[in-house]
Every structure is written in structure tokens, then in C-alpha cells.
Structure 1
Amino acid sequence: MKIVHISAECYPVAKAGGLGDVVGALPKYLNQAGHKASVIMPHYHNNWLQDAETELLYEERAPFGQASFAYRISKLVNPGLGFDLFLVDIPGRFDRPGVYLDPWTGHGYWDEKERFFSFQIAALDWINHQEEKPDVVHCHDHHTALVPFMMTQSFRYELLKNIPTVLTIHNGEYQGKYDIESAQLLPDFDHYKTGLLDWDGKLNSLAAGIKTAWKVSTVSEGYMDELQEFCHGLEYLLLAESAKTTGILNGIDTEIWDPSTDTYLEEHYSLRNYKVGKSRNKEELCKEFDLNPDNPLFSFIGRLVREKGADLLPDLIMKAHEKGIDANFIVLGTGDPRLHEIFENLENQYTGYFDSRLEYNEGLAHLIYAGSDFLLMPSRVEPCGLNQLYSMRYGTIPVVRKTGGLADTVIDVDEEDGYGFVFEDFKLQEAVEAVERAVELFSKKRLFASKRRHIMKLDFSWTKAAENYISMYKSMKS
């Protein structure tokens, strides 16, 4: 099968979250399984792409309401990604460094609608231009969720209307809502079908994709269940369309996330010598943050936003210190400026107990996975969660709230074959108790070592996840 992914992100080219990791891995594993997968994404002017070699393939104009816009399609030369990557360059729209946010201000770009509407139109124009059409078009999140609508409804894409489409919802919190008049920007369609774009009086990109895609998937079974209970109003639509919905748990790229070869680590290790390897990486990490390597080390890696439960961390750290829990805490990430200020104050207040790096740092993230004892994920919302999968691959035990993909992938140590720490409700007391249980496990060296061995043996690779996607693709062709 020829499968084309259309996405706003793709690791390592441009990544803001888990979406980028998925789109940077799934096509590679589809190709390894004998299929022909590629990715179409915007040509951002970030550092990665500025240094990349590209080959111009196509230049054209496309309609945009009563006007038109110019676009260029380039191909990454010798990408080494495991799949072909096509770049959509739209002057005035993507010639900026940020994916969604202006890195200088931290705010979203004012013309989000124009950027992603025009990207989707250009991507479809490019597909329409090719002689060999794809067997499946796979769209990701609201930034590309208008693609299934345009493929089935826009007169311009008549040749594409019978190609199966998949929409994967990585995060239902963001839906791409605009005034309904924005429909006039899309290539001509029967305006009696405007209702397919409408949800609650707005043009809702995600709703349009759910209505018109052949299949709708989410990144874990648990997250699909949660979205059908609550999705800011779209739960009713997802329930109505439940016959075509499915949850497929993401995997991790075990070639990139491999402690035996990871170039970011101080010392490589595998299941055979993990004690020595993790100890050496922990020493390096604690040296970096001026912490005591003899204490259990809890880390948080991710966006400092409400969905990730980052606002619980300051109280958790203060409460742990107040209770005399012998532990250390590290936070790596960026997000809410208010939280930045709180963490900076905590650094001064709890020197030697807590430290943070309020930045995006891929290399440091790898070292933290390797050198930590426990990974904190107190998320309010976690569609799949990849961090807990990375941490287990590196022998770091996850401490998570029971939600979405975290509930699907982490079994509490008190349950049969359990290996992590799970708390039910988003409450400080429950999070503190989970940390206390983890510290107790840390003190039981033999049991702690056996749990580490257990999690390092677990298989969360993309190989299995890719098989599930292939089965879904084939179901649409039969």
C-alpha cells in the first residue's frame, strides 16, 4: 500500500509534542513492513530545515477564497528518516521558526487559520497532481482534519474522493475552531454540505474530520473511551460515529530510544549491565543539577501546562520536603510563564532537593530518562503518553495518574505483574502517597532491581503498533 501522512509535525524535523514523535516513527515502520509510506509537512524555517538539503519538485498556485496563493513542494534529499519527506513552502505562512508558537513571544501565530488551511489545500493539490495516487491518506489532528472533507466534497479533488482516509486524534483539546464564514476559503464545494464543517455554530476542523474520514483513531484505547465521555462537546459526535472509531496504542522508536546506543548518554547500558549504566548516568545527572545520587531521583519531562498536571508539581515537591521524604526532584520543560516563576523560586528555596531546566533540551531529556529512578506524569489528560514508554525502555519506573494511555500502559506494583505507581484522582495527597510508595520500593534494593528488569523487558515498540495500523488500512480496502 502507498500511505501518505499529512501532519504539522514530524520528528526530528519539527516537533512540539507527541504528534511529532508518532509521525517521525510510524511511516518508517510501515516501510519496514513492506509498504510505501511518506510524509507531507510544512516547510518551516527552523534550524533543522535551514541546514537540510532539499530538491524542488513542483511550483503552482492554489485557490484561497476569492484569491490564490503560491506554494512550492520540495523533497528532503537523503533524509535518513526511513521514509520520504515532502515539504510545503508557502511564502508568508511558514517562513518562520515556530510550529505553532512564536519563539520570541511564546504566543500562537495570529494567522493559524490561514497557515493550516493553505497547507492542507497545497498538500491535496500536490497529491492531485501526481499520477500514482495513494491507497490511504492519513491525517493527524485538527491541523489536517479538513483534508477528508475536501477530498470528498471539493470539486477540485474529484479524483481523490474514493481514496480511504484516516484521521488520528492525538489531542482532542485542540479542535481548530473558526467562524463558519471561513468555509469560503476552501476550494469550491456544494454549500448544502456546509453542515459537515459546522459544530455548535462554528467551523470545527476536528468535527469535520470526524464526520468525513473513513476511520477515526486515537493514540490509545483508553483515550478513545475518554473522548467519548468528554471532548468539549465532540463526545456526542464521537459516540454517533463510534462504528468507525478505534484506539491504537502508540509505540516508540526503539532505534532512537535505545540506552545501548544513545549518543546523549554518559554511559551506554542494556539489560545485562543496567545497574552500572544507570548508576553512571545518575551520577552525571546529579552532578549537573547538584543533587545527591544516593537519594531516589524523581523527574518530570514535558510541557509545563495544565493538561500535563505540571501545576501539581510545586505543591508535590513542597509537601515531600515538608514530610521529610528523602528524595530529589528535577523538572525539564517549558510552558506557563507563571509556573516558570514558581519553579525558579523553588530552585532557590530547595537547593540540593529540587532543580529545573526551563527549556526544550532533547539531549538532556535522554540523560534524565537514563539517570532517573522514577518519572513523574501526573497528567490531567494524556491521550497516549510516550514519556512513560521511553522511561521504561531506560529502566526508569513511571509514577502516573490513571488516565488515557497511562492507564493502558502502566500497571501498579500492587497488582499482579505490576511495575509502576498509579494514582486515581488528580489530588495532591494521592500524588504524595504514590511518591512515598516509590521511595519505599527504592529502599528495597532487590525488589527495586527486579522491577527495573521487568520494565526494560516490556515491548512497546512501533513494530506491533504499525501492524495494528496496517490492519486498519486493509479494512478500508476490503
Structure 2
Amino acid sequence: MEIIHVSAECYPVAKAGGLGDVVGALPKYQVKAGHIAKVVMPMYRTKFLYENDWTVDFKGQANLGNWFFDYTVIKESSNKLGYDLYLIDINGLLDRQKIYGYDDDAERFTAFQIAFVNWMIHWEHQPDVIHCHDYHTGLIPFMMQYCYDYNGLKRIPSVITIHNAQYQGWMGWEKSRYIPRWDLWKRGMLDWNDNINPLASGIKCASKVTTVSWSYMDELRISSNGLEKLFEFERGKCVGILNGIDNEVWNPATDKYLEHHFSVKNVATGKKKNKAVLCERFGLDADKPLFVFIGRLVGEKAADILPYAIRLAIEQTQGQASFLVLGSGETAVEWEFQQMTEPYKGVFNVVIGYDETLSHLMYAGADFLLMPSRVEPCGLNQMYSMRYGTVPIVRSTGGLQDTVVDMGDPDGFGIRFNHATPEDVNYSIGRAVSVYQDSTHMEWMRKRMMQIDHSWESTVDEYTNVYKSLK
């Protein structure tokens, strides 16, 4: 099959979160399974763009309302990612370093989607499926079905995968003029609560809707930032498919970011060496259990409760545990963490920002990973940590409860709690400190989780079945 993935992110080209990891890995494993997979995304001005060779694949013209624009499609020449990568450039909109966060994001991503379907209509053949990812591509199924200029794309099935339903791309109806000539009788396919809602439109218009875990699919009918009734109504075409991780990138035995490699056979000594490097760098005691948080410092991740939870844990354990945080996000949370470095010197440290190399070292050297998320559609961090023998401490939500079995259950290897509160986090840290003191049990948990297969191979088969059901 020929599958075209359309996304705002793709690792290592441009990544802000799990969306980038998924779109960077899924097509690679689809190609390995014998399919033709391609990725199309905006041409941000990133390091990847300037360090690789490109060929111009297509030049075209389209319009965003009354603004007519030229666009260029370029293709990465070497196929170094394992699949064909295409970037769409629109001067004045997509020629920026950051992925998100601009006042004109609605215009940027709408124009990107218009350029994509405009390019597709010029293809000499048609792919088997268009696979859209999140709201940034949610208008594509509508435009394929109901824009007069793109009637030739009507017969191509489309799938939209929801990585995070909290972000929906709302636009006022005055921006309906952006969308190329469309059937006005189909207004309802764009509308949700008197706004144009690209994510809702994608759910209504796509042939199939997938989410990135089984539990998240169920949760969306209860809590989806206003789309609960829509998910209930469309439940017949919705499927939960658990994300995988790229076992070639995330492999402690070969990880290019690690100085000290290890596997299941020597996990204790391997982690000890990486922990020593990590603790020396950040002024922490390598003999104490090390807890880390890696991710965005935002409400969804419950990062706002962590400063108090960590202070509480340090005081209750009398400094018998160490904590290291890597992330960025809400200014207030960043500031609160920074204020903790001096009074808790020796047991706490923080790095504001994102560092890919450091994140790999933290997974390899830490004993426990904290993930108190309020919302976690799938979560990849807990899978990375398990691959590196780091015990995940997670809230029971979304993909976290699908992938982590509490150590109190038969064959359990992780720690789960129910509420995103400092008290629940602190209690879980106490459980972790207790199990850390039992080296035999700790090593068993590490080896157990490292042998769980979260690779993309089985996930690829599930997506293939979805695609085949659309024929």
C-alpha cells in the first residue's frame, strides 16, 4: 500500500512532543513491512533542513481567501529516514524556526493543508490512503470531499489519528473564506459550537479515526475538551491503537547518546555507571534513589504539582532521595523549580529547556521516572524508561494505564496512582524508595520491563488492518 502521512511534526526534522516521535517512526516501520510510506510536513527553518540535500519536486500556486501564494514541495534526496520525506514551503508563513506559538498559526496550518491537497490533485496516480495527524491536518478530509477544485481526491480514503484532543485549532467563521471553493451545504462538517473546528471536522469527514491508546479512546467520550458528544456519535469508526517506540533509536545497548551501554544481562552495572555520570554532573548523590521528570512543564503533565510534591518527598524521606527535572513550559512552574535549586542543593536540580542527549542519559541513569499526567493520550516516556530499566511512576490515565502494571499486581513492574495531587505523588515516591532498598526485587522489575516489546512492528499491522478496512 502507498500511505501518505501529513503532519506538523516529524522527528528528527522538527519535534515538539510525542507527535513528532510517532510520525518519525511509524512510516519507517511501514516501509520495513513492505509498504510505501511518505511523510509531508511544513518546511520550517530547522537544523535538519540546512544539514541535508533536497530536490524540488513540485511548484504550485493556491490561495488562502483573497491571498494568492506560491508554494514549493521539496524532497529529501538520500532517503536517510527510511521513507520519502517532503517539505512544503510557503514564504511568509512556514519559513520560521518554531513549529507553533505564532499569532497566525491558523493561517499557517490552513495554507499548508491547502497546498498539500493542491499538490495532490496534480499527482499522476492516487495513493491508497491519506493519514492525517492531529488538528493541524484536520481540514484535509473535508477539502478532499467538499472543495470543488479537489473533487478528484474524493475516492481516496483518509484516516485521522488523534494524538491530543485538547488542541483543536478553533477558528471563527469569518475565516471560512480561507477554504477554497466549497459546498456551502456542508457547513455542518466544519462547525462545532459555532466555530470552525479542524479536529472536529477531521473526525466527521475522515474514513476512520484512531487514537494512540485504547484507554484514551474510551476517555474521549467522557472528557475531550468539548467533543464528547461527537466521539460518542462517531464511536463506530473510532479505533484505539497503542503507539510503539523506535527500538533502534531507544536501545540502551547501542544508544549513540550514551557512553556506557547495557542490556538486560548487565542492567544493574550499566545503570550504575550512567547514574554516576548523571549525578556527578548535577551534584547529586549516586547512592540515593534518583527520580526524574522529563517533559513539558504544563498543566496536562501535572507539572504544577511537582515542585510541592518533590519538596514534600525530600522532607519526608529526610533527603534520602534525589530529584532531577528536565523540561520547559509555564513560566511560573519553571520559576518555582529554579527557586528550589539552592535550598535543596545536593538532592534536587533542574534544567530548563530540552536536551535530547541529556534525556537519553536520564532514562539510562535514573531509577524512577515521574509521570503524574492529568492527560496522557498514550505517553512514550514511560515506554522509553521501561526500555532503559527505569521504573515508571504514573497516574492511571490514558496510555499510562495501558502500559504500566502496578508492582502490587501479579507480575507488576511499575507504580501507579489515581489522582494528580502532591499527596498521591509523594505516597508513590515513598513506595519507590521502599522497593529501591530491596535490590533483588528492584533488579527483577528492571529486567521484567526491559523485556516487554513496545516496538512498532505489531502496531504497523494494526494500522494496516485499518487501511484495508477502507477499501
TM-score normalised by structure 1 residue count: 0.97
Give how far 1:67 is off.
Answer: 3.0
2 CA distance for matches of 1:181 and 1:79? 41
Residue 61 of structure 1 corresponds to: 61
Does the 8 A contact of 1:266 with 1:280 survive in 2?
no
Partner of 2:253: 260
Unaligned segments of structure 2, at least 5 residues: none
Q: Distance in 2 between matches of 1:468 and 1:303?
A: 29
Other-structure match for 2:420? 426
Mapped partners of 1:399, 1:315: distance in 2 = 17
Aligned to 1:160: 153
| C-alpha contact (below 8 Å) 1:377/1:400 kept by paired residues | yes
| C-alpha separation in 2, matches of 1:238 and 1:205 | 14
Q: Percent identity?
A: 50
Verify the 8 A CA contact 1:65 1:187 in the aligned structure 2.
Answer: yes
SS at match of 1:55: strand
Corresponding residue of 2:374: 380
Instruction: Find 1:130's aligned residue among 113, 123, 127.
Output: 123
Find the residue that maps to 1:229 and give its secondary structure: coil
Q: Distance in 1 between matches of 2:140 and 2:151?
A: 13
Q: 1:403 aligns with which of 368, 392, 397?
A: 397
* Bigger shift: residues 332-341 or 9-18: 332-341
Structure 1 residue 294 displacement after superposition:
0.4
CA distance in structure 2 between the aligned counterparts of 1:53 and 1:93, rounded to whole angstroms: 22
Once the 2 structures are TM-superposed, how far is the Cα of residue 266 of structure 1 from its aligned partner? Answer: 2.1
Residue from 209, 221, 230 that aligns with 1:216:
209
What is the match of residue 28 of structure 1? 28
Contact 1:136 1:164 in 2 (8 A): yes
Distance in 2, matches of 1:232 and 1:440, equals: 38
- Tell whether the 8 Å contact from 2:10 to 2:20 is kept in structure 1 after alignment: yes
Paired residue secondary structure (1:313): helix
Select the residue among 330, 339, 362 that pairs with 2:333: 339
CA distance in 1, matches of 2:428, 2:125: 54
For the residues of structure 2 that align with 1:348 and 1:197, how far apart are their CA atoms? 52
1:176 aligned to which of 151, 169, 172: 169
User: What is the CA-CA distance between 1:63 and the residue it aligns to?
Assistant: 2.2
- 1:183–1:194 Cα contact (<8 Å) kept: no
* Aligned mates of 1:286, 1:66 — CA distance in 2: 58
* Deviation at residue 57 of structure 1 after TM alignment: 1.3
Return 169-178 or 321-330, whichever deviates more: 321-330
Which runs of 5 or more structure 1 residues have no equivalent in the other structure? Answer: 101-107
Query: Are the equivalent residues in 1 in contact too, given 2:282–2:349 (CA < 8 A)?
Result: yes
Alignment of 1:236-385 (within 5 A): 236-325=229-318, 326-385=320-379
CA distance in 1, matches of 2:26, 2:20: 10
- Answer yes or no: is the 8 Å Cα contact 1:266–1:284 preserved in 2: no
Q: Distance in 2 between matches of 1:365 and 1:451?
A: 21
Q: What amino acid maps onto 2:335 in structure 1?
A: E
Query: Is contact 2:60-2:119 (8 Å) kept?
Result: no
Structure 1 window deviating more from structure 2 (302-311 vs 57-66): it is: 57-66
Give the counterpart of 2:142 among 126, 135, 149. 149
**Residues 1:47 and 2:47 aligned together:** yes
Aligned to 1:119: 112
- Looking at structure 2, the residues matched to 135 and 426 of structure 1 have their Cα atoms a distance apart, in angstroms, of 42
Deviation at 1:49, TM superposition (A): 1.1
- 1:262-292 CA-to-partner distances (Å, cap 9, x unmatched) read 0111201111111111110000000111100
* Alpha-carbon distance in structure 1 between the residues aligned to 2:262 and 2:78: 30
CA distance in 1, matches of 2:314, 2:36: 53
For residues 191 and 56 of structure 2, the distance between their equivalents in structure 1, rounded to whole angstroms, comes to 37
Tell me how far apart the structure 1 counterparts of residues 155 and 58 of structure 2 sit (CA, whole Å): 24
- In 2: Cα distance, 1:145 partner to 1:66 partner: 22
- Quick one: distance in 1 between partners of 2:32 and 2:152? 29
- Which residue type is aligned with residue 291 of structure 1? L
Helix, strand or coil at the partner of 2:121:
helix
Checking the alignment, whether the CA contact within 8 Å between 1:138 and 1:166 is kept in structure 2 is: yes
Distance in 2 between residues matched to 1:23 and 1:186, nearest whole Å: 26
Residue 440 of structure 1 corresponds to 434
Within 1, Cα distance between the matches of 2:349 and 2:64?
49
The answer to whether the 8 Å contact 2:309/2:422 transfers is: yes
Partner Cα distance (1:11, 1:299) in 2: 23
Partner of 1:104: none
**Which secondary structure does the structure 1 equivalent of 2:323 belong to?**
strand
Tell me, yes or no, if the aligned pair for 2:290 and 2:322 is still in contact at 8 Å: yes
Which letter maps to 1:182? K
Runs (4 or more) in structure 1 with deviation over 3 Å come to none
Partner of 2:456: 462
Q: Structure 1: how far apart are the matches of 2:426 and 2:338?
A: 21
Amino acid paired to 1:78: S
Tell me which amino acid in the other structure corresponds to 2:451. Answer: K
Question: How far apart are 1:126 and its partner, in Å?
Answer: 1.5
Per-residue CA distance 1:385-408 (angstroms, 9 max, x = gap): 000000000000100000000010
SS of the residue corresponding to residue 37 of structure 1 reads: strand
Tell me how far apart the structure 1 counterparts of residues 212 and 439 of structure 2 sit (CA, whole Å): 35
What is the letter of the counterpart of residue 305 of structure 2?
A: L
C-alpha deviation, 1:431, in angstroms: 1.1
Deviation at 1:66, TM superposition (A): 2.6
1-structure distance, mates of 2:23, 2:155: 24
Match of 1:191 among 171, 184, 187: 184
- The offset of 1:324, in angstroms, is 2.6
